[in-house]
Structure 1
Amino acid sequence: MDRSHDHPPSPFRRPPDLDALNALSRGNSIETLGIVFTDIGPDHITATMPVDARTRQPYGLLHGGASVLLAETLGSSAGNLCVPDDRICVGIEINANHLRGVRDGVVTGTARPLHVGRSTQVWEIRIEDEAGRLVCISRLTLAVVPRG
């Protein structure tokens, strides 16, 4: 049975490369927070982030700002794989609903496109704990602008 119609075509213009994405993370906030890209599929990018001293707020819970940084990292990275080489994507709006506290372990975020246009993109990012429970749901709007 042909199921090719069950999944929309991939929005990625360039072949996704985990090693290249992780290399771009070196020497910046992505590396500092321990975010590691772990999977790329035809319509998603996934990364993990530890819940530890780098990402906790003073009350011992995963900091909402760390979740937002993970969400924007995922959405922006995915968006940049969808544009020609003379363009880049930059975040212009992000929202996040923090639904569950996490004290330790690892959270996993997955970004999927809601809209991939010529001038804007919208991505949904779901962050889950190790038991697969939703920790944060985020929506990121990106502007597609000239590189340089």
Structure 2
Amino acid sequence: MPTSIQQFQESWDAFRATIDFEEISDTLGLVPHSCGENTMSMSMELAPHLRQAGGMFSATSLFGAADLTGTFLAMQVARPGSFPLAVQSNLNFLSNTLVGPVIATARPLRVGRSTIVASVEVGDAHGKLLVASTFTYLSKATTAS
């Protein structure tokens, strides 16, 4: 896991450089925000295309922020030569906001040989909890054994 925001940004940039098409992180505009001993956080601004009819973040954008932050965390702790495939998610939408950014913070709950479970919370810029979630990942081999 990265231990500094610089390492986090470099790791995120290296991962994104391997993708040669526009994908969901482009749409969401997620950027590294912070990292700690066991956490990684990404931020997302409230762009017009991420709003629901009431002007707040859409549920899908909040889910996306949680999902991608959890997946990137799982990528950092997965076995070398594997990719974490999400096989289960549980989200509770607790609140919403009319202003950005939101901050998605992921931390591992369990890291095993084949399964990773992560907790991801999404909060507003003032720390108000908007989403509480858990994700379960299956660590799938990406290279021949």
TM-score above 0.5, yes or no: yes
Identity across aligned pairs (percent)?
Answer: 24
> C-alpha deviations, 1:23-74, integer Å up to 9, x for none?
5347321122111012222201100001221211122121111111111111
1:17 corresponds to: 8
Query: Unaligned 5+ residue runs, structure 2?
Result: none
Q: What is the SS of the residue equivalent to 1:30?
A: helix
Contact 1:18–1:40 (Cα < 8 Å) also in 2: no
Match of 2:56 among 53, 57, 61: 61
| More displaced 10-residue stretch of structure 1: 92-101 or 18-27 | 18-27
Q: Would you tell me which structure has more helix in proportion to its own residues?
A: 2
After TM superposition, the score normalised by the length of structure 2 is 0.85
For residue 140 of structure 1, report the CA deviation from its aligned partner.
Answer: 0.6
After TM superposition, where is structure 1 displaced by more than 4 Å over at least 4 residues in a row?
Answer: none
Match of 1:108 among 100, 103, 108: 103
1:89 corresponds to: 84
Contact 1:86–1:146 (Cα < 8 Å) also in 2: yes
Q: Is 2:127 aligned against 1:136? A: no
Q: How many residues align?
A: 136
Query: Unaligned 5+ residue runs, structure 1?
Result: 1-11
1:119 corresponds to: 114
Contact 1:25–1:31 (Cα < 8 Å) also in 2: no
After superposition, the Cα gap between the structure-2 partners of 1:144 and 1:91, relative to the gap in structure 1 and judged at 3 Å, is same
Q: Over aligned residue pairs, what C-alpha RMSD do you find?
A: 1.8
Contact 2:28–2:64 (Cα < 8 Å) also in 1: no
Whole-angstrom CA distance in 2 between matches of 1:17 and 1:132: 21
Whole-angstrom CA distance in 1 between matches of 2:9 and 2:36: 11
After superposition, the Cα gap between the structure-2 partners of 1:25 and 1:32, relative to the gap in structure 1 and judged at 3 Å, is farther
